A and B are shown apart, each in its own frame.
Chain A
Amino acid sequence: MKLEGTYTFNAPREVVYKTLLSPEALKACMPGCERLEETAPDVFESVMKIGVASVKGTFTGKVQMKEKNPPAAFTMDVEGSGLAGFMKGEGRVELVDLGGKTEVKYAGDAQVGGLIAGVGQRMIGGVAKMMVGQFFKAMEEQLGKGGAR
C-alpha cells in the first residue's frame, strides 16, 4: 500500500520539523493514540486504537526516526501488530520552506497483512489516507498553538 501527498502548514520550517518529531505533539495528533513513549533516542513505542466504526483494533507499534536532516527531511520506519493484523513500512518526509509557510511532502510504502488486509482490503487504502489527513489536521492545530520549540 502506497501513501503519498503533501500538506502545507502556516508555520516556519524549523518549528514544523520540531513539532513533527515531538512526542507530545505526536501523541496528540496520531489518530486513536492511547500511549506513546520515547523508549530510546528517536524510537517511539505506541499503542493505538485504529479503525472505523465498530471495526476497530488495538495495535502496538514502534516508530524509528532515521536519516534525519533537520529541518529538511527525515525517514520513519514503522511497524505494528495487533489482533487484526500487522503492518510494516517506511516513509520519507520532506519539508520545503515556502517563506514562513512549510510544505510537507510524504511518500511511503507499507505492507499490511493478516485479517485486516484480507477482509478489510477494500477499504484499507481509503482509511489510511483518511487517518493521514486527520493527523495533519491535528498537527495544524498544534502548530496554531505555537508547536514545539
Chain B
Amino acid sequence: MKPAQFEYFDPGTLDEALGLLREHGDDAKVLAGGQSLVPIMNFRLARPKVIVDVNKVPGLDYIREADGMIHIGALTRQRSVETSALVKAKCPLLYDATYWVGHLAIRTRGTVGGTIAHADPAAEYPCVLTALGGQVVVKGQGGEKVVKPEDFFVTFLTTSLQPTEMVTEVRFPKIPPEAGWHFMEFSRRHGDFAIVGVAAMVQLDKQGKCTDARIALCGVGGSPFKARTAESMLKGTQLTDKVIQAAAEKVGEEVEPEGDLHGSAEYRKHLAKVLTGRTLKKALEKAGKIQ
C-alpha cells in the first residue's frame, strides 16, 4: 500500500518547522515517529498535501526532572521512556503504561509527542497524562503555552492543537513516594488497541487513609475519561475492598462507550468496572513501595 502523493519537507530547526506549518496550515501534517500517521496515509484514509518531518529538529529528544515533574521532549521515542531509569523511579505509572504501547518495534519509532498529538481514544499516554493531571507544552507563532490534558484532548483524534502549532514537550507529574500506581488494559492480543485501559494512582497517609486518588480510562469515549466521581469516593477513606468495589461500579455506570466489532458498549462498561477495580487493588498493593 502506498500513500497518496504529498509534498515533503524536513526542516532542520523548530522555527523552520513552525514556519512551514504557518505556510501550509490545514494541508500540512507533522510526521514524528509515523506509527499512526503512516498507516492511515497508506490506507489512504488521510491524504495530507504536505508532510513536515520533524525528525531532524534538534533539542526535542530528552527526559529530565524539573518542577516536580518529568519533562519529556516531543521527539523522545517511547522506547527511551521504557529504558529510562528516571521514569521508572519517579513516574513508574508511565513506565508501566509504556509496556502496553503497541510492540517493541512500534515503541522504537513512536514518539511521546506523537501519541499525545494523535489523540487515539485507546492510547495509553493520553490516559496516564489525564489521570495524573500533566501538561502539554505547545509552540506556535504566538510563542509557547502550557495546556492541561482536559483542555487538550477534545475527541476522537482531535485536540485543541491548531494547524500552525506543534507539541514540543509533555510533562508527567511524579508519583509521590507514599503512593501506589498501576496501569492495566484489555485487548484481544497484546499490542492491539486497548478495548479498555485504566491508569490509577492512590496516595495514602500513615494510617492508610487515602489522601489522593487519580483514575483515568482509555477506550471508553472520544478522549480519556477522568473518573472524578470515583476519585472523590476514594479520598478520605480506608481503601477496603468494599470502597474500591463501589468506586469501580461508579466508573462502570458513568462511562458511555460506543460498541464496535471488538466489543459492545455494554461489554466495555463491564470491562471499565472490572478493570478499574483490579487496577485500584494493584495500585494499593504497591503503595509505599516506590524506590
| Residues of A in contact with B (beta carbons under 8 Å apart) | 52-57, 83-84, 115-116, 119-127, 129-130
Contact residues in A for B259 (Cβ distance below 8 Å):
125
**8 A–B contact pairs at CB < 8 A?**
A52-B158, A54-B157, A55-B46, A84-B45, A120-B45, A125-B259, A126-B222, A130-B222
Contact residues in B for A115 (Cβ distance below 8 Å):
43-45
Contact residues in A for B261 (Cβ distance below 8 Å):
121-122
Q: Tell me whether chain A's interface is mostly helix, strand or loop, or mixed.
A: helix
Contact residues in B for A126 (Cβ distance below 8 Å):
121, 155-156, 221-222, 258
Whether the pair A52, B45 counts as a contact (CB closer than 8 A) is no
- B44-72 residues with Cβ-Cβ distance < 8 A to A are 44-46, 48
Whether the pair B222, A125 counts as a contact (CB closer than 8 A) is no
Residue of A nearest to B45 (CB): A55
Contact residues in B for A123 (Cβ distance below 8 Å):
121, 156-157, 260
Whether the pair A125, B258 counts as a contact (CB closer than 8 A) is yes
Indicate which residue in A53, A84, A122, A124 contacts B158 across the interface (CB closer than 8 Å).
A53
B37 within 8 A of partner (CB): yes
Bound complex: CA A127 to CA B119 (Å): 14
Residue of B nearest to A124 (CB): B260
Residue of B nearest to A57 (CB): B45
Residue of B nearest to A122 (CB): B260
Report B104 CB to chain A, min CB distance, Å: 23
Contact residues in B for A57 (Cβ distance below 8 Å):
45
| Residues of B in contact with A (beta carbons under 8 Å apart) | 29, 37, 40, 43-46, 48, 119, 121-122, 155-158, 193, 221-222, 258-262
Bound complex: CA A116 to CA B260 (Å): 13
Whether the pair B156, A52 counts as a contact (CB closer than 8 A) is yes
Whether the pair A122, B155 counts as a contact (CB closer than 8 A) is no
Whether the pair A52, B44 counts as a contact (CB closer than 8 A) is no
Indicate which residue in B40, B158, B258, B262 contacts A119 across the interface (CB closer than 8 Å).
B40
* Given contact pairs A53-B157, A54-B40, A83-B44, A122 touches B221 in the complex (Cβ within 8 A): no
Contact residues in A for B258 (Cβ distance below 8 Å):
125-126, 129
Contact residues in A for B193 (Cβ distance below 8 Å):
122
Bound complex: CA A129 to CA B29 (Å): 26
Bound complex: CA A55 to CA B157 (Å): 9
Bound complex: CA A56 to CA B4 (Å): 14
Bound complex: CA A83 to CA B259 (Å): 25
List 10 tightest A-B contacts by C-beta distance, closest first. A125-B258, A53-B157, A54-B46, A126-B258, A52-B157, A123-B156, A55-B45, A52-B156, A119-B43, A55-B46
A126-B121, A126-B221 given. 19 additional CB < 8 A pairs? A52-B156, A52-B157, A53-B157, A54-B37, A54-B40, A54-B48, A55-B45, A83-B44, A84-B44, A115-B45, A119-B40, A120-B45, A121-B261, A122-B260, A123-B156, A123-B157, A123-B260, A126-B156, A129-B258
